[in-house]
Amino acid sequence: MVIRRIAELLDAQVVLGADKLDLDVGAAFSSDMMSDVLAYVTGGTVLLTGMVNEHVIRTAEMVDLECIVFVRGKVPTKEIIDLAEENGMVLMTTAHTLYVTSGILYSNGLEGIGRRE
């Protein structure tokens, strides 16, 4: 799914990377635990999270994530946005909860990542 479509479906505000909305992602992963992101996610995935700190960006950087959606109306600080910008990421924020955000994207055809072997 193209990131632009994700932003539209979630009625999200794009806070960084408005020029990269044509990027395509194959799956989504929802978690507030960065430990689990590190253990489960590989690139080409959008991260949906209610955790907002610089470690989220670092974590995304390590696993090659290019797009992060902050849920429950959480807005990243300037420090967080700066670090994400260095890494060429797209950041957006939606007022929906993590559950509803996941449900909207899933019901519109964006799959979850596969189960770990």
Partner 1 sequence: MPLIAEIFEVQKDDFVAAGEASAKIKRTLKKLGVGSEVIRRIAVCAYEVELNLIIHSLGGTIDFSVTQERVTLVVKDVGPGIPNVDLAMREGWSTAPESVRMMGFGAGMGLPNMKRNADEFDIHSEMGVGTEITMKFNIK
Which residues lie near partner 1 (CB under 8 A)? Answer: 32-36, 38-39, 42-43, 51, 53-56, 58-59, 61-64
113: left (phi over 0), alpha (psi -120 to 50) or beta: beta
Q: Closest distance between partner 1 and the C-beta of residue 1, in Å?
A: 22
The answer to whether 13 and 92 have CB atoms below 8 angstroms apart is yes
Nearest distance from residue 19's CB to partner 1, in Å? 22
Q: Which residues of 63-72 are buried (b: 16+ CB within 10 A; e: fewer)?
A: bebbbbbbbe
Provide the terminal-to-terminal Cα distance of the chain, rounded to the nearest Å. Answer: 25
Q: Nearest approach, Cβ of 81 to partner 1 (angstroms)?
A: 16
Q: Please, which residue, 11 or 36, has the CB nearer to partner 1?
A: 36
Q: Which is nearer to partner 1, 42 or 108 (CB)?
A: 42
Q: Please, what is the Cα angle at 30 between 52 and 13, to 5 degrees?
A: 55
- For partner 1, the closer of residues 8 and 88 by Cβ is 88
Task: Using the minimum distance from each CB to partner 1, give the nearer residue, 18 or 39.
Answer: 39
The CB-of-54 to partner 1 minimum distance in angstroms stands at 8
Look at the chain and count its residues. Answer: 117
